[in-house]
Chains A and B, each alone.
Chain A
Amino acid sequence: MRSNLPVLRTKRRYMSFLLESEGILEPKDLLVEIYSAQVSLMGDLGAASNKLKLICFNGRFGILRCNHDRIRDTRALLATINMVSGIRVLIQVIGVSGTIKSATKKYLPRLNEIKTQNYGRRIELDEVSGCVIGIHGHEIDLCPDDQRKIKGSDTRYLGLTSFDLCGGLYDADGTSDGLRQGDNGI
Protein backbone atom coordinates (compact mmCIF):
# COMPACT_ATOMS: atom_id res chain seq x y z
CA MET A 1 0.00 0.00 0.00
CA ARG A 2 1.34 3.38 -0.97
CA SER A 3 1.63 5.62 2.06
CA ASN A 4 1.34 8.92 0.25
CA LEU A 5 0.70 10.16 -3.26
CA PRO A 6 3.82 11.63 -4.92
CA VAL A 7 2.11 15.00 -5.38
CA LEU A 8 1.23 15.12 -1.68
CA ARG A 9 4.72 14.29 -0.44
CA THR A 10 6.58 17.14 1.22
CA LYS A 11 9.72 18.25 -0.57
CA ARG A 12 12.86 17.79 1.43
CA ARG A 13 16.33 19.19 1.28
CA TYR A 14 19.53 17.69 2.62
CA MET A 15 21.96 20.07 4.25
CA SER A 16 25.59 18.98 4.49
CA PHE A 17 27.50 20.54 7.35
CA LEU A 18 30.95 20.60 8.83
CA LEU A 19 31.28 20.67 12.61
CA GLU A 20 34.40 22.07 14.24
CA SER A 21 34.71 21.27 17.93
CA GLU A 22 37.14 21.09 20.79
CA GLY A 23 36.38 17.44 21.53
CA ILE A 24 34.63 14.36 20.23
CA LEU A 25 30.84 14.48 20.01
CA GLU A 26 28.23 11.74 19.85
CA PRO A 27 25.52 12.12 17.16
CA LYS A 28 22.88 11.73 19.87
CA ASP A 29 24.15 14.79 21.79
CA LEU A 30 24.22 16.85 18.62
CA LEU A 31 20.68 15.79 17.72
CA VAL A 32 19.36 16.77 21.15
CA GLU A 33 21.00 20.19 20.82
CA ILE A 34 19.67 20.71 17.28
CA TYR A 35 16.11 19.88 18.39
CA SER A 36 16.42 22.11 21.42
CA ALA A 37 17.73 25.02 19.30
CA GLN A 38 14.93 24.49 16.81
CA VAL A 39 12.18 24.64 19.41
CA SER A 40 13.82 27.66 21.02
CA LEU A 41 14.12 29.58 17.74
CA MET A 42 11.02 28.53 15.80
CA GLY A 43 8.65 27.45 18.53
CA ASP A 44 6.66 24.22 18.59
CA LEU A 45 4.61 25.06 15.51
CA GLY A 46 7.64 25.91 13.40
CA ALA A 47 9.46 22.80 14.57
CA ALA A 48 6.48 20.61 13.69
CA SER A 49 6.45 21.83 10.09
CA ASN A 50 10.18 21.46 9.48
CA LYS A 51 10.56 17.62 9.56
CA LEU A 52 14.13 17.91 10.78
CA LYS A 53 16.20 14.73 10.94
CA LEU A 54 19.89 14.01 11.35
CA ILE A 55 20.66 11.57 8.54
CA CYS A 56 24.30 10.90 9.39
CA PHE A 57 27.14 12.36 11.41
CA ASN A 58 30.67 11.04 11.76
CA GLY A 59 32.06 13.48 14.30
CA ARG A 60 33.01 16.10 11.73
CA PHE A 61 30.75 15.96 8.67
CA GLY A 62 27.03 15.33 8.69
CA ILE A 63 23.80 15.58 6.72
CA LEU A 64 20.63 17.11 8.08
CA ARG A 65 17.19 16.78 6.47
CA CYS A 66 14.78 19.73 6.46
CA ASN A 67 11.73 20.99 4.63
CA HIS A 68 12.47 22.67 1.29
CA ASP A 69 10.89 26.00 2.29
CA ARG A 70 12.66 26.09 5.66
CA ILE A 71 16.27 26.22 4.47
CA ARG A 72 16.88 29.73 5.76
CA ASP A 73 15.43 28.91 9.18
CA THR A 74 17.47 25.71 9.38
CA ARG A 75 20.65 27.61 8.52
CA ALA A 76 19.82 30.12 11.24
CA LEU A 77 19.13 27.44 13.84
CA LEU A 78 22.44 25.73 13.05
CA ALA A 79 24.12 29.13 13.47
CA THR A 80 22.61 29.49 16.95
CA ILE A 81 24.27 26.30 18.20
CA ASN A 82 27.44 27.21 20.03
CA MET A 83 27.84 24.46 22.59
CA VAL A 84 27.00 20.74 22.63
CA SER A 85 27.19 18.90 25.97
CA GLY A 86 29.67 21.42 27.33
CA ILE A 87 31.96 21.45 24.28
CA ARG A 88 32.26 24.55 22.11
CA VAL A 89 31.30 23.89 18.50
CA LEU A 90 31.02 25.75 15.22
CA ILE A 91 28.64 24.35 12.59
CA GLN A 92 29.29 25.47 9.05
CA VAL A 93 26.81 24.61 6.29
CA ILE A 94 28.68 23.35 3.23
CA GLY A 95 25.77 22.99 0.83
CA VAL A 96 22.17 21.97 0.25
CA SER A 97 20.97 19.19 -2.06
CA GLY A 98 17.73 17.52 -3.07
CA THR A 99 18.83 13.94 -2.39
CA ILE A 100 21.07 12.21 0.11
CA LYS A 101 23.08 10.75 -2.75
CA SER A 102 23.92 14.11 -4.30
CA ALA A 103 24.59 15.68 -0.89
CA THR A 104 27.10 12.94 -0.14
CA LYS A 105 28.64 13.05 -3.59
CA LYS A 106 28.97 16.83 -3.82
CA TYR A 107 29.82 17.93 -0.34
CA LEU A 108 31.18 15.01 1.67
CA PRO A 109 34.35 13.91 -0.06
CA ARG A 110 35.46 11.52 2.66
CA LEU A 111 33.70 10.30 5.76
CA ASN A 112 36.63 9.22 7.88
CA GLU A 113 36.75 8.67 11.58
CA ILE A 114 38.32 11.53 13.47
CA LYS A 115 41.36 10.62 15.50
CA THR A 116 42.75 12.71 18.29
CA GLN A 117 46.36 12.87 19.21
CA ASN A 118 47.87 14.06 22.42
CA TYR A 119 51.05 15.99 21.79
CA GLY A 120 53.32 15.97 24.81
CA ARG A 121 54.79 19.35 23.96
CA ARG A 122 54.77 22.62 25.79
CA ILE A 123 54.85 26.24 24.68
CA GLU A 124 56.52 28.72 26.97
CA LEU A 125 56.07 32.33 25.93
CA ASP A 126 55.98 35.49 27.98
CA GLU A 127 52.26 35.97 27.37
CA VAL A 128 51.00 32.37 27.27
CA SER A 129 52.26 28.98 28.33
CA GLY A 130 50.72 25.53 28.31
CA CYS A 131 50.49 22.07 26.74
CA VAL A 132 49.85 21.51 23.04
CA ILE A 133 46.62 19.55 22.64
CA GLY A 134 46.32 19.35 18.87
CA ILE A 135 48.01 20.58 15.72
CA HIS A 136 46.19 20.99 12.40
CA GLY A 137 48.49 22.43 9.74
CA HIS A 138 49.45 25.88 10.95
CA GLU A 139 46.88 25.85 13.73
CA ILE A 140 47.69 24.86 17.30
CA ASP A 141 45.33 24.18 20.22
CA LEU A 142 46.93 24.98 23.56
CA CYS A 143 45.70 24.13 27.04
CA PRO A 144 46.88 27.16 29.03
CA ASP A 145 48.50 26.88 32.45
CA ASP A 146 46.59 29.95 33.54
CA GLN A 147 42.89 29.13 33.10
CA ARG A 148 41.97 32.82 33.46
CA LYS A 149 43.19 33.26 29.87
CA ILE A 150 40.10 31.49 28.53
CA LYS A 151 37.63 33.05 30.91
CA GLY A 152 34.75 34.77 29.13
CA SER A 153 34.99 32.87 25.85
CA ASP A 154 33.75 29.48 27.18
CA THR A 155 36.43 27.58 25.31
CA ARG A 156 38.74 24.92 26.73
CA TYR A 157 41.84 25.76 24.77
CA LEU A 158 43.65 28.77 23.37
CA GLY A 159 43.93 28.91 19.59
CA LEU A 160 47.37 29.85 18.24
CA THR A 161 49.14 29.41 14.93
CA SER A 162 52.70 28.65 13.99
CA PHE A 163 52.90 32.30 12.89
CA ASP A 164 52.50 33.31 16.54
CA LEU A 165 55.62 31.33 17.36
CA CYS A 166 58.95 32.20 15.83
CA GLY A 167 58.49 30.13 12.63
CA GLY A 168 55.62 30.31 10.25
CA LEU A 169 56.93 28.98 6.98
CA TYR A 170 56.45 25.34 7.85
CA ASP A 171 53.72 23.24 9.40
CA ALA A 172 53.23 23.71 13.09
CA ASP A 173 54.63 20.31 13.98
CA GLY A 174 57.76 20.81 11.86
CA THR A 175 61.05 21.12 13.63
CA SER A 176 61.83 24.57 12.28
CA ASP A 177 58.71 26.32 13.47
CA GLY A 178 59.97 27.14 16.92
CA LEU A 179 57.58 25.13 19.04
CA ARG A 180 60.42 24.55 21.46
CA GLN A 181 62.18 27.86 20.95
CA GLY A 182 59.01 29.92 20.82
CA ASP A 183 60.15 32.62 23.21
CA ASN A 184 62.01 34.43 20.43
CA GLY A 185 58.89 36.16 19.19
CA ILE A 186 58.36 37.22 15.61
Chain B
Amino acid sequence: MSFFECNLHAIPEGSDSASRLAFAAKRLGYDGIVISNHSCFIDIFRPRAAFKVNSIDVDFGIEIVGNNPKALGNWISKMRAKYAFIAIHGGSEDINRAACEHPDVDVLLHPEKGRRVLSIAAARAAEHNQVAVGFDLSPLIRLRGITRARRLELIKRNIILARKFNLQIMITTGARSRFDLRTPQELRALAEIAGFESSEIETALNLPGKILELNKRIWLGTGVELL
Protein backbone atom coordinates (compact mmCIF):
# COMPACT_ATOMS: atom_id res chain seq x y z
CA MET B 1 0.00 0.00 0.00
CA SER B 2 1.63 3.28 -1.06
CA PHE B 3 0.34 6.64 0.08
CA PHE B 4 0.63 9.72 -2.09
CA GLU B 5 -0.11 13.35 -1.31
CA CYS B 6 -1.15 14.87 -4.62
CA ASN B 7 -1.55 18.62 -4.19
CA LEU B 8 1.37 20.38 -2.52
CA HIS B 9 2.41 23.95 -3.19
CA ALA B 10 6.09 24.88 -2.97
CA ILE B 11 7.94 28.23 -3.07
CA PRO B 12 6.96 30.71 -4.60
CA GLU B 13 3.34 29.80 -3.85
CA GLY B 14 3.92 28.12 -0.51
CA SER B 15 6.51 28.80 2.15
CA ASP B 16 8.59 25.62 1.84
CA SER B 17 10.84 24.43 -0.92
CA ALA B 18 10.08 21.22 -2.80
CA SER B 19 12.87 19.36 -1.01
CA ARG B 20 11.66 20.51 2.43
CA LEU B 21 8.16 19.29 1.62
CA ALA B 22 9.65 15.98 0.49
CA PHE B 23 11.53 15.66 3.79
CA ALA B 24 8.38 16.42 5.80
CA ALA B 25 6.22 14.01 3.78
CA LYS B 26 8.79 11.25 4.14
CA ARG B 27 8.85 11.76 7.90
CA LEU B 28 5.05 11.59 8.04
CA GLY B 29 4.96 8.25 6.23
CA TYR B 30 4.16 9.08 2.60
CA ASP B 31 5.67 7.09 -0.24
CA GLY B 32 5.39 9.90 -2.74
CA ILE B 33 4.31 13.47 -3.27
CA VAL B 34 3.16 15.50 -6.24
CA ILE B 35 4.05 19.17 -6.13
CA SER B 36 1.46 20.98 -8.19
CA ASN B 37 1.62 24.74 -7.91
CA HIS B 38 -1.16 26.81 -9.38
CA SER B 39 -0.57 27.81 -12.99
CA CYS B 40 0.30 31.39 -11.98
CA PHE B 41 3.26 30.11 -9.88
CA ILE B 42 4.87 27.66 -12.30
CA ASP B 43 8.52 28.53 -11.62
CA ILE B 44 9.18 26.33 -8.60
CA PHE B 45 12.24 27.18 -6.53
CA ARG B 46 15.03 24.60 -7.07
CA PRO B 47 12.80 21.67 -8.14
CA ARG B 48 15.67 19.28 -8.84
CA ALA B 49 16.83 19.45 -5.22
CA ALA B 50 13.75 17.44 -4.23
CA PHE B 51 14.99 14.42 -6.20
CA LYS B 52 17.98 14.17 -3.83
CA VAL B 53 15.72 13.22 -0.91
CA ASN B 54 15.90 9.44 -0.56
CA SER B 55 13.04 6.95 -0.11
CA ILE B 56 10.29 9.14 -1.47
CA ASP B 57 8.99 9.66 -5.00
CA VAL B 58 8.75 13.31 -5.94
CA ASP B 59 6.82 14.31 -9.04
CA PHE B 60 5.78 17.64 -10.42
CA GLY B 61 2.38 18.52 -11.73
CA ILE B 62 0.32 21.62 -12.22
CA GLU B 63 -2.98 22.89 -10.86
CA ILE B 64 -4.48 24.88 -13.70
CA VAL B 65 -6.57 27.93 -12.86
CA GLY B 66 -8.79 28.80 -15.79
CA ASN B 67 -10.90 31.93 -16.04
CA ASN B 68 -13.21 30.41 -18.63
CA PRO B 69 -13.63 26.98 -20.27
CA LYS B 70 -11.84 28.00 -23.48
CA ALA B 71 -8.75 29.29 -21.67
CA LEU B 72 -8.79 26.16 -19.53
CA GLY B 73 -8.79 23.95 -22.63
CA ASN B 74 -5.80 25.83 -24.04
CA TRP B 75 -3.89 25.47 -20.78
CA ILE B 76 -4.58 21.74 -20.60
CA SER B 77 -3.43 21.13 -24.19
CA LYS B 78 -0.28 23.17 -23.58
CA MET B 79 0.66 21.54 -20.28
CA ARG B 80 -0.22 17.89 -20.95
CA ALA B 81 3.12 17.15 -22.60
CA LYS B 82 5.12 18.92 -19.90
CA TYR B 83 3.62 17.49 -16.72
CA ALA B 84 2.72 13.97 -15.63
CA PHE B 85 -0.07 15.19 -13.40
CA ILE B 86 -2.71 17.72 -14.46
CA ALA B 87 -5.11 19.01 -11.83
CA ILE B 88 -7.78 21.63 -12.32
CA HIS B 89 -8.61 24.28 -9.76
CA GLY B 90 -12.36 23.74 -9.53
CA GLY B 91 -14.96 26.13 -8.23
CA SER B 92 -17.43 27.55 -10.70
CA GLU B 93 -19.91 25.32 -12.50
CA ASP B 94 -18.50 26.14 -15.97
CA ILE B 95 -14.95 25.28 -14.99
CA ASN B 96 -16.00 22.08 -13.22
CA ARG B 97 -17.89 20.91 -16.26
CA ALA B 98 -15.16 21.88 -18.74
CA ALA B 99 -12.59 20.02 -16.63
CA CYS B 100 -14.74 16.89 -16.43
CA GLU B 101 -15.32 16.92 -20.18
CA HIS B 102 -11.60 17.02 -21.03
CA PRO B 103 -10.02 13.53 -21.26
CA ASP B 104 -6.50 14.89 -20.60
CA VAL B 105 -7.39 16.01 -17.09
CA ASP B 106 -6.28 13.78 -14.22
CA VAL B 107 -8.18 15.32 -11.34
CA LEU B 108 -10.66 18.09 -10.63
CA LEU B 109 -9.76 19.55 -7.25
CA HIS B 110 -12.20 20.98 -4.69
CA PRO B 111 -15.22 21.34 -7.03
CA GLU B 112 -17.22 22.59 -4.02
CA LYS B 113 -15.03 25.67 -3.57
CA GLY B 114 -17.54 27.90 -5.34
CA ARG B 115 -20.15 26.85 -2.73
CA ARG B 116 -21.93 24.70 -5.32
CA VAL B 117 -21.86 20.92 -5.56
CA LEU B 118 -20.75 19.09 -8.68
CA SER B 119 -23.54 19.08 -11.26
CA ILE B 120 -25.03 15.82 -12.55
CA ALA B 121 -23.82 16.53 -16.08
CA ALA B 122 -20.28 17.18 -14.85
CA ALA B 123 -20.30 14.00 -12.76
CA ARG B 124 -21.49 11.98 -15.76
CA ALA B 125 -18.75 13.51 -17.93
CA ALA B 126 -16.14 12.78 -15.26
CA GLU B 127 -17.22 9.14 -15.23
CA HIS B 128 -16.98 8.96 -19.03
CA ASN B 129 -13.56 10.65 -19.23
CA GLN B 130 -12.11 9.00 -16.09
CA VAL B 131 -11.49 12.31 -14.38
CA ALA B 132 -10.96 11.88 -10.65
CA VAL B 133 -12.53 14.20 -8.10
CA GLY B 134 -10.11 15.61 -5.54
CA PHE B 135 -11.45 16.33 -2.08
CA ASP B 136 -9.45 19.01 -0.32
CA LEU B 137 -9.69 18.50 3.45
CA SER B 138 -7.96 21.79 4.32
CA PRO B 139 -11.30 23.49 5.19
CA LEU B 140 -11.69 20.91 7.96
CA ILE B 141 -8.26 21.85 9.26
CA ARG B 142 -8.29 25.60 8.80
CA LEU B 143 -11.89 26.64 9.28
CA ARG B 144 -13.99 26.63 12.42
CA GLY B 145 -17.69 26.91 13.18
CA ILE B 146 -20.41 27.52 10.64
CA THR B 147 -18.08 27.99 7.65
CA ARG B 148 -16.58 24.57 8.27
CA ALA B 149 -20.05 23.04 8.67
CA ARG B 150 -21.13 24.47 5.30
CA ARG B 151 -18.05 23.15 3.50
CA LEU B 152 -18.50 19.78 5.17
CA GLU B 153 -22.08 19.64 3.92
CA LEU B 154 -20.94 20.34 0.33
CA ILE B 155 -18.22 17.70 0.60
CA LYS B 156 -20.78 15.14 1.84
CA ARG B 157 -23.07 15.89 -1.10
CA ASN B 158 -20.19 15.49 -3.54
CA ILE B 159 -19.29 12.15 -1.94
CA ILE B 160 -22.83 10.92 -2.60
CA LEU B 161 -22.53 12.00 -6.25
CA ALA B 162 -19.12 10.35 -6.58
CA ARG B 163 -20.56 7.08 -5.23
CA LYS B 164 -23.54 7.27 -7.54
CA PHE B 165 -21.41 7.73 -10.67
CA ASN B 166 -18.48 5.51 -9.55
CA LEU B 167 -16.04 8.39 -9.78
CA GLN B 168 -12.42 8.00 -8.79
CA ILE B 169 -11.63 9.87 -5.59
CA MET B 170 -8.49 11.58 -4.30
CA ILE B 171 -7.94 13.04 -0.85
CA THR B 172 -5.50 15.86 -0.21
CA THR B 173 -4.66 18.62 2.23
CA GLY B 174 -3.62 21.18 -0.41
CA ALA B 175 -0.62 22.01 1.75
CA ARG B 176 1.21 25.30 1.30
CA SER B 177 3.76 24.53 4.00
CA ARG B 178 4.98 21.49 5.91
CA PHE B 179 2.67 22.44 8.79
CA ASP B 180 -0.35 21.81 6.55
CA LEU B 181 0.64 18.21 5.88
CA ARG B 182 -0.99 15.43 7.90
CA THR B 183 -0.05 11.78 8.28
CA PRO B 184 -2.07 9.25 6.25
CA GLN B 185 -3.64 7.99 9.51
CA GLU B 186 -4.80 11.47 10.47
CA LEU B 187 -6.09 12.09 6.95
CA ARG B 188 -8.02 8.86 7.27
CA ALA B 189 -9.56 10.03 10.57
CA LEU B 190 -10.51 13.38 9.04
CA ALA B 191 -11.92 11.73 5.93
CA GLU B 192 -14.05 9.37 7.99
CA ILE B 193 -15.50 12.37 9.80
CA ALA B 194 -16.23 13.93 6.41
CA GLY B 195 -18.21 10.83 5.40
CA PHE B 196 -15.82 8.57 3.48
CA GLU B 197 -15.66 4.84 4.05
CA SER B 198 -12.33 3.29 4.95
CA SER B 199 -12.04 1.33 1.67
CA GLU B 200 -12.64 4.55 -0.29
CA ILE B 201 -9.92 6.31 1.67
CA GLU B 202 -7.36 3.58 0.97
CA THR B 203 -8.12 3.78 -2.76
CA ALA B 204 -8.07 7.57 -2.72
CA LEU B 205 -4.63 7.73 -1.12
CA ASN B 206 -3.27 5.18 -3.64
CA LEU B 207 -4.77 6.75 -6.74
CA PRO B 208 -2.19 9.52 -7.47
CA GLY B 209 0.58 6.90 -7.62
CA LYS B 210 -1.38 4.81 -10.10
CA ILE B 211 -2.18 7.83 -12.29
CA LEU B 212 1.46 8.92 -12.32
CA GLU B 213 2.56 5.43 -13.28
CA LEU B 214 0.12 5.43 -16.22
CA ASN B 215 1.04 8.93 -17.35
CA LYS B 216 4.76 8.22 -17.36
CA ARG B 217 4.28 5.52 -19.98
CA ILE B 218 4.22 6.61 -23.63
CA TRP B 219 0.78 6.35 -25.17
CA LEU B 220 0.43 6.74 -28.96
CA GLY B 221 -3.35 6.79 -28.81
CA THR B 222 -6.21 5.53 -26.69
CA GLY B 223 -5.16 2.07 -25.53
CA VAL B 224 -1.99 2.01 -27.69
CA GLU B 225 1.31 2.09 -25.82
CA LEU B 226 4.82 2.48 -27.20
CA LEU B 227 6.99 -0.20 -25.59
Contact = CB atoms under 8 A, between A and B. Distances in A.
Given A79-B141, A93-B183, A139-B20, A159 B49 contact: no
Given A40-B145, A163-B49, A186-B46, A138 B179 contact: no
Q: Which secondary structure dominates chain A's binding surface?
A: mixed
A159 B186 contact: no
Nearest to A37: B144
Contacts of A161: 17, 19-20, 23, 49, 53
Interface stretch (A50-58, A82-90, A106-114): A82-90
Given A90-B181, A127-B11, A127-B12, 14 more contacts: A75-B186, A128-B45, A138-B23, A153-B14, A158-B11, A158-B17, A159-B17, A160-B16, A161-B17, A161-B19, A161-B49, A161-B53, A163-B19, A163-B49
Interface string B133-145: 0000000111011
Given A82-B142, A92-B28, A139-B23, A155 B17 contact: no
A164 interface: yes
B46 A164 contact: yes
Interface residues of A, number: 37
A9 interface: no
Given A80-B140, A82-B141, A186-B49, A159 B15 contact: yes
Interface in B158-200: 176-183, 185-187, 189-190, 192-193
A79 B50 contact: no
Nearest to A39: B144
Given A160-B20, A161-B49, A164-B46, A89 B189 contact: no
A78 interface: yes
B156 to A, nearest CB: 15
B216 interface: no
Nearest to B14: A153
Interface string A56-77: 0000000000000000110110
A155 B179 contact: yes
Contact of B144 (A40, A72, A168, A186): A40
14 contacts: A41-B193, A73-B189, A76-B190, A79-B182, A90-B178, A127-B12, A138-B19, A149-B11, A153-B14, A153-B176, A159-B21, A163-B46, A164-B19, A164-B46
A155 B177 contact: yes
Interface string A114-158: 000000000000011000000000110000000001101111011
Chain B contact patch, size range: 35 or more
Nearest to A92: B183
A76 B189 contact: yes
Nearest to B50: A163
A185 interface: yes
A26 interface: no
Contact of B186 (A41, A93, A163): A93
Contacts of B82: none
A80 B176 contact: no
A143 to B, nearest CB: 11
A76 B193 contact: yes
> By CB atoms of chain B within 10 A, which of A22, A82, A150, A159 has the most?
A159
B15 A155 contact: yes
A20 interface: yes
Contact of A159 (B16, B48, B50, B189): B16
B124 to A, nearest CB: 32
B178 to A, nearest CB: 6
Contacts of B20: 139, 159-161, 164
Given A73-B193, A159-B17, A161-B17, A88 B186 contact: no
